[in-house]
Structure 1
Amino acid sequence: MPPQGTKIAEEYDNLYAFLLWASLIGSMILIGGMIFFVVKYKRKTDHDKTPYISHNTFLEFIWSFIPLVIFLGVFVWGWHLYHEMRTMPENALEVNVFGRQWSWEFAYKSGKTSGKEFYVPVNTPVKLIMTSKDVLHSFYIPSMRIKQDVVPGMYTTLSFNAEKLGDYQIFCAEYCGTTHSGMLGQMHVVSQADFEKWLQENEEGMTLAEKGQKYFTDKGCVACHSVDGTPKVGPSWKGVFGLKEHEMDDGQKVSVDENYVRESILNPNAKVVKGYPKGVMPTFQGQLSEDQLNALIEFIKSLK
């Protein structure tokens, strides 16, 4: 197994080891018992008669109950680990990840971008917000024991907290074309000071939110949406991101996350906020790149 880079990786390995040992011991008991009874009760002569053996209720209960307890224990253990892996930490460092044939791209809130490799500080919760620019990919860091499909047209997330300094290999774990095996990357876990130093080396000079603010004006969003809470033709963007029960015109209540904002930009009539007319906002499908969408979403996130 690759070296463990997180606490989750250690817990994952413990569960995996338990399953292996439980399977080994169970197989030895089962197969060993079969061999023992075959030898012990082998018919010795043609005149041997099979003895009448009555069932043993207690024994039957034991060999059914013990496996049941083990299986239920593994289920609870696995569910706890899965829940821990899929619960996104609050106030985490967010990194946007883009998959494309056959490379990875990374973008930070500061506006810093990098290709094929990215940096994170040690002992800091990290949240990856991922999407694909072409076909289905799967982001996999073996040392972190994390893997998540990267799907075109939507966002998926992963989180981890790297506890050891070092360089960790990234793979694509979903066949995506002829150079799938070459779709590699690297994650560098560094000290907080080194991370801040690397992050400040931003050649573009604009944060991701600042880029989004520019697109907010350039693409005409400013005509229908405010950023100060004032209602216009469309709802204000101020303080909307993160709402858990945002009411739609059909009574449905939705969580305002990355996927909701993306859908509202590309397919604005799919969900319309209560109190606003339907069919007014045009679709921006095909008019915005993934990078521009990402920047607009980051701008909306910044409007507290």
Structure 2
Amino acid sequence: MNEPGIWLPQASSEAAATDTILIALLVVSSAIVLLVAGLITVFAIRYRKGSPASREPLPSIFARDVEFGWTFATLGLFIAIFAWAASQNITLAHPPAARMEIHVLAKRWMWKVEHAGGQGEIDELHVPAGELVELIMQSEDVIHSFYVPAFRVKQDVVPGHTERLRFTPEKPGTYHLFCAEYCGTDHSRMIGRVVVQSPEEFAAWLTRQPQEDDLAKSGRQLFVRFGCAGCHEGQASVRAPRLSGLFGAPVQLADGRTVTADDAYVRDSILQPKRDIVAGYDPVMPSFAGVVSDGEIAGLTAYIRALRAPADGGVY
């Protein structure tokens, strides 16, 4: 593991920015503490019992100006630091289209990883250096937390939700992976490693792994097995929304709202189909709550994401 000593390596592009914000907070906080402690010490000595220092009150206008000045200065400093720290998360919330998507399923007590080509890993994650990686994460049971200290990234994985974590690994090496949320008896054993390789080494690693059907292909099989194709494909007798080109597109609902067909929308449509009814369609879809697992929902979502509109040469 590339994490010896007290100081962790900065192994991702996010690490340097996070450390800079942390150091800035420590410096500013220390300066304020020293200032306040210094003033307390000076006043305690100057105005000690029996000292000849004048105890006449300051003019009210001057005292008010000091109070307002100190209040607004600290408020402005807080807003500036908050905006600086938030800007990093805002940037990560709008990633470029070119990114590597990897699916992660958290379950007691393991991390199950599946790459786009169907390569699977348990408690390991191989990624290429210099490429933006997006983890699409779900939990099968309780709350887990994906934490890589060397990357300075941590994301809680909540049951019933699809969470996303983005980072760009920079330094090849092997780094610790932890679950940072207590998840039961063997929580301390839910550990793993992230292996950062050069693009060439990563490509070679992929070719050496046994390839199962990728997630979208397995999602297609589930799509047929659960009977989804009987309503949502072009030849279906039941009138239901078509799914080609759906993912990422706006959807007009019967109640007048417009939502984006993202992971959460697909999940809710499978488990709570009566919640968001598409305009122009009857609420006839049954709920699959308790029928499909989180892993199967991830496969179905990957299949729907992979579908393209017919004009792009895709299929229903």
TM-score (structure 2 length as normaliser): 0.87
Root-mean-square deviation over aligned CA pairs: 2.2
How far the C-alpha of 1:131 sits from its partner, in A, is 0.8
Distance in 2, matches of 1:169 and 1:222, equals 42
Given candidates 176, 186, 189, the residue that maps to 1:182 is 189
| Deviation string, structure 1 residues 224-265 (Cα, Å, up to 9, x no partner) | 11269x99521111000011x211111121111111111111
1:221 Cα deviation from its structure 2 partner: 1.5
Q: Which amino acid aligns with 1:43?
A: K
Q: CA deviation at 1:60?
A: 4.5
In structure 2, the residue matched to 1:275 is: 280
Matched, 1:130 2:137: yes
Aligned to 1:5: 11
Distance 1:257 1:204 in 2: 27
In structure 2, the residue matched to 1:52 is: 56
- Matches of 1:92 and 1:49, distance apart in 2: 67
Residue pair 2:230, 2:237 contacting (<8 A) in 1 also: no
Query: TM-score by structure 1 length?
Result: 0.90
Q: Spell out, residue by residue over 1:276-298, the C-alpha distance to the aligned partner (whole angstroms, 9 max, x if none).
A: 111x2222222223332222111
- Counterpart code for 1:172: C
1:63, 1:252 → 2: CA distance? 46
Aligned length, in residue pairs: 299
Determine helix, strand or coil for the equivalent of 1:286.
Answer: coil
Whether 1:100 and 2:107 are equivalent positions in the alignment is yes
Residue by residue over 1:193-244, the C-alpha shift from the partner in whole angstroms, topping out at 9 and shown as x without a partner, is 222222234435422211122222222221111269x99521111000011x
Amino acid in the other structure paired with 1:239: G
Alignment of 1:6-25 (within 5 A): 6-25=12-31
1:113-142 Cα deviation digits (max 9, x unpaired): 110001111111111111111111111111
1:165-180 correspondence to structure 2 within 5 Å: 165-180=172-187
The one-letter amino acid paired with 1:289 is: S
**CA shift in 2, pair 1:267/1:201, >3 Å:** farther
Does 260-269 or 183-192 show the bigger shift? 260-269
Q: One-letter code of the match for 1:262?
A: R
Q: Which residue of 2 aligns with 1:299?
A: 303
Amino acid at match of 2:159: P
Note if contact 1:171-1:183 (Cα within 8 Å) is conserved in structure 2: yes
1:115 counterpart = 2:122: yes
The answer to whether residue 243 in structure 2 is matched with residue 237 in structure 1 is yes
Unpaired runs of at least 5, structure 1: none
* CA distance in structure 2 between the partners assigned to 1:219 and 1:140 by the alignment: 35
Structure 1 residues 74-223: aligned runs within 5 Å? 74-223=81-230
Match of 2:314 in 1: none
Structure 1 residue 12 displacement after superposition: 1.1
Mapped to 2, the partners of 1:39 and 1:205 lie a distance apart of 76
- Separation in structure 1 between the aligned mates of residue 286 and residue 77 of structure 2, nearest angstrom: 56
Matched, 1:261 2:256: no
Q: Give the match's secondary structure for 1:170.
A: strand
- Separation in 2, partners of 1:231, 1:50: 93
Sequence identity percentage: 35
Deviates more, 1:260-269 or 1:53-62: 53-62
1 CA distance for matches of 2:79 and 2:70?
A: 15
Where in structure 2 are the equivalents of 1:62-73 lying within 5 Å? 62-73=69-80
Does the aligned pair in 1 maintain the 2:13–2:167 contact within 8 Å?
A: no
Letter of the structure 2 residue corresponding to residue 35 of structure 1: T
Distance 1:60 1:296, change over 3 A: closer
**Are residues 290 and 67 of structure 1, via their aligned partners in 2, closer, same or farther at CA, if it must alter by over 3 Å?**
closer
For residues 288 and 71 of structure 2, the distance between their equivalents in structure 1, rounded to whole angstroms, comes to 59
Alignment of 1:248 onto 2:250: no
Q: Which moved more, 1:63-72 or 1:110-119?
A: 63-72
Deviation at 1:111, TM superposition (A): 1.2
Pick which of 67-76 and 118-127 moved more.
67-76
Quick one: distance in 1 between partners of 2:167 and 2:158?
20
Change (3 A) 1:205 1:98: closer
Would the aligned equivalents of 1:8 and 1:144 in 2 still touch at CA under 8 Å?
yes
